[in-house]
């Protein structure tokens, strides 16, 4: 199964929510208009004298690494409605997709991910209602005489409904307004189908997410200290286990420090992950000072020549001042060993908390100088839109996303795949 299919099937709840909502919105006031794309392909054959109108190129909305190829007018078959979106050529695929970590150029890394599939970027213009007769082969195979698609005129009412739909998918008010406004630009008063709206929205979402999709950087300095923070149960321990396994597979020597010294169960859980990843876990007696464990772990990591030291911390709610101060102490103490540490402070966020993730980022940013985000539990939640909201509001790098509880269920963040999966697009 490709990563996209995996992501899509796991983001099912978010995408089906948007899917169903869009169907209802377009049905509400829409009318049958034009034909389905699949049917167009089957019936194409007789070239039309006049080329289709060329959709206006919009370079400003195209995410940078995937520029729109030039669109060439194609002769259309006789009976085809002229404005049905045409497939655009897709830029060549990279051989490998980036891992959630960024390796220095001279250290090539085996990347355990499959090749991504891009969202075909299409423009959309109004299609007139028209009846299409199937070709000879279509008739012979008993294909349907006509398959129509419902389109609705994009007006204020529809825009408002679209905005509300995105808000229910946890995109937040401002981001939802931004996405709908951008998709409406130049299209107000035109008729759009569900598929066309999905593609336009996916393009806007990908454009917002593009600048924040960055693998976690790896530095020459060793041990590179990665401090992992977040509220209780957000998925810190699981993420450390998954990341450690990927670093190890990339040839790095990794040490984990079990900084949640308050809960014996948390330490045991980390030890299990350490075993799975084949990475040593340094622990301290229950109730001991986590800052002191961090200091000892730094010493051991330095002595053993480890490349990375990943420090787990106790889950803390933003309103627990004592725990927040303890986190600041951990940072102060490890800086005694290396004043540039921690080199990465990863904030792990649970997608199921929805908009609450925004206030978590604000609080942790003040306290711990967050350098990047990992969003967990994107599988099985209808709140995947929160990631768009986070990207729009904070612009913090999103290094990886958690899409399950298994060791390899941590994927690099790919904005186009994510946008397509969120919108329930077939690519
Ligand atoms: N479905 C799913 N579950 C996840 C994911 N990441 C973590 N979990 C689950 O979330 C629960 C909490 O994960 P932990 O890694 O223990 O979270 P934590 O932040 O270390 O928790 P505390 O130690 O209480 O602060 C566990 O049951 C994990 O299996 C994910 O990406 N998808």
230 annotated to bind ligand? yes
**163 or 135: which carries more pLDDT confidence?**
163
pLDDT per position as a tens digit, 26-38? 888 766 666 544 3
Nearest atom, ligand 1, residue 231 CA? 25
Give the mean pLDDT of 90-101.
44
Q: What pTM was estimated for this model as a whole?
A: 0.75
Q: Which residue has the tokens 């290396």?
A: 338
Of 2-11, 170-179, 268-277, the range with the lowest mean pLDDT is 2-11
CB atoms near residue 347 (< 10 Å): 25
The residue whose C-alpha atom lies closest to atom 14 belonging to ligand 1 is 235
* Nearest-atom index, ligand 1, CA of 376: 31
Instruction: Please say if the pLDDT value at position 87 is more than 80.
Output: no
Binding site annotation covers 238?
no
Q: Identify the residue whose C-alpha is closest to ligand 1 atom 10.
A: 235
Q: In the structure, which protein residues have their CB atom closer than 6 angstroms to any atom of ligand 1?
A: 230, 232-238, 260, 266, 269, 315, 376-377, 379-380, 402-405, 409
Which three-class secondary structure state does DSSP give residue 193? strand
- In this prediction the ipTM stands at 0.97
> What spacing in Å lies between the alpha carbon of 199 and ligand 1's midpoint?
32
User: How many A from CA of 292 to the centre of ligand 1?
Assistant: 25
Question: Which residue's CA is the closest to the ligand 1 atom numbered 30?
Answer: 377
Q: Does the annotation list 315 as a binding residue?
A: yes
Chain segment 349-403, per-residue pLDDT in tens? 999 998 999 999 998 888 888 999 999 998 877 788 999 999 999 999 999 999 9
Kindly give the number of the ligand 1 atom that is closest to the alpha carbon of 312: 20
Q: Residue 234 C-alpha to ligand 1 middle, in angstroms?
A: 6
Residue 335 and residue 294: Cα distance in Å, rounded? 10
Q: How far is Cα 389 from Cα 354, in angstroms, rounded to an integer? A: 10
> Smallest Cα–Cα separation from 248: which of 110, 399, 95?
110
Q: b/e map of 93-118 (b: 16 or more CB within 10 Å)?
A: eeeebbbbbbbeeeeebebebeebbb
- pLDDT classification of 113: cutoffs 50, 70, 90: very low
Whole-number mean pLDDT of the chain? 76
314 marked ligand binding residue = yes
- Annotated binding residue at 379? yes
Tell me if residue 151 falls in helix, strand or coil.
strand
Instruction: State the pLDDT confidence band at 123, using cuts at 50, 70 and 90.
Output: very low
Instruction: From 311, 405, 406, 408, give the residue whose CB has the most ligand 1 atoms within 8 Å, as the site to mutate.
Output: 405
Task: Please tell me whether 231 is known to bind a ligand.
Answer: yes
β-sheet with 398-402: strand ranges across: 281-282, 254-258, 308-312, 224-229, 344-350, 372-376, 398-402, 410-412
Winning range, highest mean pLDDT, from 42-51, 294-303, 307-316: 294-303
Taking CA atoms only, the protein residue closest to ligand 1 atom 7 is: 235
Tokens representing residue 290 in the block: 């986590």
Mean pLDDT of 208-221: 94
Q: What is the pLDDT of residue 10?
A: 62
Confidence class for position 425, pLDDT limits 50, 70, 90: confident
N- to C-terminal Cα distance for the chain? 14
Written as six digits, the tokens of 29 are: 């006031």
**Neighbouring residues of 75: CB distance < 8 A, sequence distance ≥ 6:** 47, 48, 49, 51
The CA distances from residue 176 to 152, 181, 205, 381, in Å, are 20, 8, 10, 18
pLDDT tens digits, 47-64: 333 333 334 434 333 333
Q: What is the CA radius of gyration of the chain?
A: 25
Residue whose CA is at the smallest distance from ligand 1 atom 6: 235
pLDDT at 6: 59
120 CA → ligand 1 middle, Å: 34
Angle at 266 between CA 299 and CA 349, to 5 degrees: 90
H helix intervals, 170-289? 173-184, 194-209, 236-249, 264-277
**Spatial distance between the Cα atoms of 150 and 194, rounded to a whole number of angstroms:** 8
**Angle in degrees, CA 90, 91, 97, rounded to 5:** 110
- pLDDT at residue 166 greater than cutoff 90: yes
- In the reported structure, the alpha carbon of residue 269 is separated from the centroid of ligand 1 by a whole-number distance in angstroms of 10
> What pLDDT score was predicted for residue 146?
54
Instruction: Quote the CA–CA distance of 47 and 319 in Å, as a whole number.
Output: 67
H or E stretch including 375?
Answer: strand 372-376
Distance 328 CA to ligand 1 centre (A): 23
Distance 287 CA to ligand 1 centre (A): 22
Q: Is 289 annotated as a binding residue?
A: no
Q: Cβ(254)–Cβ(310) under 8 Å?
A: yes
Q: Which of 303, 281, 282 is nearest to 292 (CA)?
A: 282
Residue 228 C-alpha to ligand 1 middle, in angstroms?
13
Question: Where do the domains of the chain lie, and which CATH numbers do they carry?
Answer: 3-211 (no CATH), 216-423 (3.40.50.300)
Residue 75 CA to residue 50 CA, distance in Å, equals: 7
Q: Which atom of ligand 1 is nearest to the CA of 232?
A: 25
Locate the DSSP E strands across 230-359. 254-258, 281-282, 308-312, 344-350
Over 80: is that where the pLDDT of 262 sits? yes
Determine which of 141-150, 272-281, 394-403 has the lowest per-residue pLDDT on average.
Answer: 141-150
**Which one, of 413, 425, 426, lies nearest residue 208 by Cα?**
413
E strand or H helix that includes residue 402: strand 398-402
What spacing in Å lies between the alpha carbon of 136 and ligand 1's midpoint? 57
What is residue 27's predicted lDDT score, i.e. its pLDDT?
82
DSSP 16-70: HHHHHHHHHHHHTT-EEEEE-HHHHHHH--SEEEEEPPPPPP-GGGS-TTSPPPP
In eight-state DSSP terms, residue 100 is S
Confidence (pLDDT) at 301 = 96
């Amino acid at each position: 199964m490709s990563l996209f299919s995996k992501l899509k099937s796991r983001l099912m709840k978010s995408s089906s929510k948007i899917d169903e909502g869009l169907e209802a919105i377009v049905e509400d006031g829409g009318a049958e208009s034009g034909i389905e794309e699949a049917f167009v392909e089957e019936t194409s054959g007789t070239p039309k004298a006049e080329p289709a109108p060329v959709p206006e190129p919009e370079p400003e909305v195209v995410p940078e690494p995937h520029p729109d190829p030039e669109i060439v007018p194609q002769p259309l078959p006789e009976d085809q409605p002229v404005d049905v979106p045409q497939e655009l050529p897709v830029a060549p695929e990279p051989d490998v997709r980036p891992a959630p970590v960024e390796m220095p150029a001279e250290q090539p890394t085996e990347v355990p991910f499959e090749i991504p599939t891009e969202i075909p970027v299409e423009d959309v213009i109004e299609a007139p209602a028209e009846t299409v007769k199937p070709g000879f082969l279509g008739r012979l195979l008993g294909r349907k005489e006509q398959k129509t698609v419902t389109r609705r005129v994009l007006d204020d009412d529809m825009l408002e409904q679209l905005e509300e739909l995105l808000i229910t998918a946890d995109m937040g008010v401002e981001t939802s307004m931004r996405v709908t406004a951008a998709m409406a630009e130049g299209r107000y008063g035109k008729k759009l189908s569900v598929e066309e709206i999905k593609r336009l929205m996916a393009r806007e979402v990908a454009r917002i997410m593009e600048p924040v999709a960055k693998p976690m950087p790896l530095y020459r300095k060793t041990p590179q200290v990665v401090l992992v923070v977040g509220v209780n149960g957000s998925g810190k321990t699981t993420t450390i286990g998954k990341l450690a396994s990927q670093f190890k597979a990339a040839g790095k020597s990794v040490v984990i420090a079990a900084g949640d010294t308050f809960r014996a169960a948390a330490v045991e859980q980390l030890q299990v992950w350490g075993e799975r990843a084949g990475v040593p876990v340094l622990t301290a007696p229950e109730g001991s000072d986590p800052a002191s464990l961090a200091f000892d772990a730094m010493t051991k990591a330095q002595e053993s020549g480890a490349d990375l030291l990943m420090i787990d911390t106790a889950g803390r709610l933003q309103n627990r001042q004592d725990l927040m101060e303890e986190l600041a102490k951990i940072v102060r103490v490890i800086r005694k060993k290396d004043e540039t540490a921690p080199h990465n402070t990863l904030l792990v966020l649970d997608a199921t908390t929805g908009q609450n993730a925004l206030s978590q980022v604000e609080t942790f940013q003040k306290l711990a100088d967050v350098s990047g985000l990992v969003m967990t539990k994107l599988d099985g939640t209808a709140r995947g839109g929160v990631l768009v909201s986070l990207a729009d509001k904070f612009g913090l790098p999103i290094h990886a996303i958690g899409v399950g509880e298994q060791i390899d269920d941590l994927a690099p963040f790919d904005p186009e795949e994510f946008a397509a999966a969120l919108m329930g697009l077939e690519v």
